[in-house]
Amino acid sequence: MAGRRAILAVIALILLTEGAGQGLREAASARSDTLCQRGRLNEFLPDPRRDWNGDGSLDSGDDWIELHNAGSTPWDIGGWKLDDSDAPASSIPYVIPLGTVLPPGAYAVFYGNVTGIDLHRTGDTVRLLTPDGSLADLFTYSVGPNGGSYSLTDACVWTMALPPTPGRANGYVKVYLPLVQRDASF
Ligand SMILES: [Ca+2]
Ligand SMILES: [Ca+2]
Ligand SMILES: [Ca+2]
């Protein structure tokens, strides 16, 4: 064959979240359908290994918490609060600015440099509180995800098995590998 060279492949690696229910490293808590179908904690990253907030430094400011409006109506999160463990020495809750509204299907990410919340690397509790301080959602973890995030799957189960996706749907993303030209003789 001329040149004995061939374009071997364009590989579209598409891993879909539908399979996320299998092989989870941690399925810490299944949650009620009611909670999963409305506004909720959706993902968080407690042990950053990169400059997630893009401010040029790597520190606890790169922790982040993601909220998601899984409901069908706008979610006014102004006045709602984010916090870590409610232990006495804990930081005070972060109050989401008034006027913050998440449309249906939207995501919002709150970084540690804004919230002042430094989630513990090896274990902590992430809490979402209503404006009156009532507990709306929480997740407690005892194993650090080593630079990764805890994500809520489509099956509404927390897992460490998915890559971090701040501001986007949880799950694997489409990765298109470049054209590869190789000598077909080997
Ligand atoms: Ca940073
Ligand atoms: Ca942290
Ligand atoms: Ca996400």
Q: Taking ligand 1, which is a single-atom ion, which protein residues have CB atoms under 5 Å away?
A: 51, 53, 55, 57, 62
Q: Which two tokens stand for residue 74?
A: 């706008």
The burial class, CB within 10 Å (0-12 / 13-18 / 19+), for 158 is: buried
Main-chain dihedrals φ then ψ at residue 101, nearest 5 degrees: -130, 130
- CA of 160 relative to ligand 3 center, distance in Å: 12
Adjacent-strand bridge partners of 152 = 158
- CA of 95 relative to ligand 2 center, distance in Å: 19
Residue range 148-185, pLDDT digits in tens: 999 999 888 999 999 999 999 999 766 666 665 555 55
The ligand minimizing its distance to the Cα of 113 is 1
- CA of 84 relative to ligand 1 center, distance in Å: 19
- CA of 121 relative to ligand 2 center, distance in Å: 5
- CA of 82 relative to ligand 1 center, distance in Å: 19
**What is the reported pLDDT for 183?**
58
Q: What is the pTM of this model?
A: 0.77
Which one has a higher pLDDT value, 141 or 173?
Answer: 141
Q: Taking ligand 2, which is a single-atom ion, which protein residues have CB atoms under 5 Å away?
A: 46, 60, 63, 118-119
Question: Domains (ranges, CATH) in the chain?
Answer: 24-172 (2.60.40)
The ligand minimizing its distance to the Cα of 165 is 3
Residue range 68-102, pLDDT digits in tens: 999 999 999 999 999 998 776 667 899 999 999 99
The ligand minimizing its distance to the Cα of 117 is 2
Other CB atoms within 10 Å distance of the CB of residue 31: 16
Q: In the block, which residue shows the tokens 């359908």? A: 33
Spell out where 84-123 has E strands. Answer: 94-95, 101-102, 107-111
